[in-house]
Each structure stands twice: as C-alpha cells, then as structure tokens.
Amino acid sequence: MPKALFSIVAGVALAVCSILSMAAQPDPILPRPSGPAPAVKFTIIKTGETPTRDALTWAGGSWSQKVMANHVAILVSHPSGRFLLDSGLGTQTGRHFDDQMPWWVKPLMRYQGFSPARAQLDARGEPAISRIVLTHGHWDHVAALHDFPEAEVWLTAGELDFVRTAKPPAVLPVQVNAPGIRWHTYALAPRRFGPFEQHLDLFGDGSAVLVPLFGHTPGSVGLVLTLSSGRQALFIGDVAWRVDGVTHQAPKPFISRRVVDHDAEATHDTVKLLHAIQQANPGLLIIPAHDAVVHDALGYYPRWVE
C-alpha cells in the first residue's frame, strides 16, 4: 500500500475507533421528570457529629484543618409520601456503641452533639415515618432503626446479606438483629437512568430515583432527587466522605479505604463516575452522608431545601 494511502486509512480507522469509544461512555446527564417537577423537598436531620481532620476524610486533605463528620438522617417529602434516607444515630446508640464497638475504633468514632431523629420529629408533631431507605448498612446509618418500628427498612437483598453477616466495626449486630425491624428488600430494575445501568423510581414520576453506587458495600445506593424548584440533589452515602473527594477524584485516605470500603477499587471507579456527573450537571447538589461543610450550607431540620 502506498505510504500516503496507508496514512489516510490509518487516520480514518483511528477516528472511527475514537467515535465508537465515545459512544460507549455512559451519558453523565441526570434525567429529569418528564412533566412539571412535583413538590419534592428534603431536610437534613443532624443527629450527632464526630470531630476529625480533613486529611482523615479524603486523600489530599489537610492535617492541620479540623472538620466535622456529621451523622444525619434525610427526611424527603413527596406528594405521595415521606421517607427517611438513612436513620442517623438513635436513642440506643450510646449503649450499642459502648457494648459492641471495638476498643481500637472508639477514639476515632466517638460522637458528640447527640440528638436522635425520632426525638426531633416527635417534638414537632411530625407524622410517623413509614419507610426508611438505606444508602448502605454500616452502623452509623442503621443506628436508629429501632426508633421507627412502624417503618419498612428498604435495602437490596445483597445489602441485607451484608448487614446480617458483617462484623464490628462495620455493623454492630445488636443494632440489626432486633426481631422488630421490618426489612424490605428490593431489586434495582435493569433499565438505564442517565449514566446508571439500573435504577428504582420510588414514586414512578422520576423525581426520587435510587441508583447503584458500587464498591463501598455490596449494595450501596445513591438517591437522585429533583426538587420542586427544578434543582437536583444526588445523595451519595459514603462513596466519598467529602465532596472534595468527588471534585478532585480522590479516594478516602489509604488506611480508611482499606478498613471501610468493601471494594476500594470499585469505590474509586464510582468516585470517578460521580466526578463526571458533577462536571456535566451544573448546579447539582452532591451530598455525602457525612460532609458537614455541605450540610452546614444547606441548613438543618426544620429548614427544608426545595
């Protein structure tokens, strides 16, 4: 083949390959409800906080900067019902923590400013909570399940297996073995939702959608909310503890990810996906479960974000 012709053929082949590989990338734009946005809002119920260092929350953080790791439950209000995303710390957490948390973790996990979600909701006469959706089953997210005996607790079957078999410090058996907890397992439908290959549309209108966030635990999920204002929020559980981790595509610090991430490599792939979503969706609120900087900016129950 003449050299010039070879160059043309090689160039065309390269262009086709790069177009094909671009087409294989999932679209990072988050879908929106097709009709007018329903009256969806959320509020952050702060149930406690753990003082720590920036450098202990994401690889790239500062050792000199003190930060708070919040423990929260998110109350979501939709015209068809309310639910909690995670439960935060509960009325029995002190006893459970003292009895079953390993001694070597206690200094790192010690919390303060304790204020269970149930007490905060009851003080304002809120109706009973009938559903709690878990981002994942770690102890600090399930700690208040026994405070809501009326609620079904939603998680995938894989995550329920994990909750029933994992050991402290990931899961405290005393928190999850109570016979009164009404576990409800669900499966994500194998249908695409933007960049995610599976999802579960909680109300059937596209305003509150669970999506898989692989790695941190076997069945970690996130929640995409489209608020009444049209603004979107993505709750990412503990894929990253700080939004800085997503912005800089940085994992948790080395020791932390070895201890807390079920699959550290898959978790980092999810962080990279979240970064692509952050870049492609200007105005999107990315809300890690423990990032007090993000939570402080949005305010706390009874203040709602609409």
**Residues that bind Zn ion in the complex, under the rule CB under 5 A:** 140, 238
Kindly tell me which of 48 and 206 has the beta carbon lying closer to Zn ion. 48
Q: Are 86 and 145 in contact (CB under 8 A)?
A: no
CB of 68 to Zn ion, least distance (A): 13
CB of 19 to Zn ion, least distance (A): 41
CB of 233 to Zn ion, least distance (A): 18
Q: How far apart are CA 201 and CA 280, in angstroms?
A: 22
CB of 88 to Zn ion, least distance (A): 10
Kindly tell me which of 167 and 192 has the beta carbon lying closer to Zn ion. 167
102: DSSP letter: -
CB of 15 to Zn ion, least distance (A): 46
Kindly tell me which of 136 and 275 has the beta carbon lying closer to Zn ion. 136
- Point out which residues pair with 112 in neighbouring strands: 49
Kindly tell me which of 140 and 205 has the beta carbon lying closer to Zn ion. 140
Q: How far apart are CA 128 and CA 37, in angstroms?
A: 25
Query: What is the residue-wise DSSP string for 119-138?
Result: HHHHHTTPPPP-EEE-S---
CB of 30 to Zn ion, least distance (A): 23
- Residue with token string 């695409």: 192
Kindly tell me which of 42 and 241 has the beta carbon lying closer to Zn ion. 241
| Exposed/middle/buried for residue 256 (C-beta within 10 Å: 0-12, 13-18, 19+) | middle
Structure tokens of 276?
Answer: 């692509």
CB of 265 to Zn ion, least distance (A): 20
Kindly tell me which of 191 and 258 has the beta carbon lying closer to Zn ion. 258
Structure tokens of 306?
Answer: 């609409």
Kindly tell me which of 236 and 277 has the beta carbon lying closer to Zn ion. 236
198: DSSP letter: -
- For the stretch 161-192, what's the b/e string if a residue is b when 16 or more beta carbons lie within 10 angstroms of its beta carbon? ebbeebebbbbbbbbbeeeebebeeeebeeee
CB of 171 to Zn ion, least distance (A): 11
Where would I find the H helices in the chain? 3-24, 93-100, 106-109, 117-123, 139-142, 157-165, 173-176, 243-247, 254-260, 264-280, 292-298
Kindly tell me which of 205 and 238 has the beta carbon lying closer to Zn ion. 238
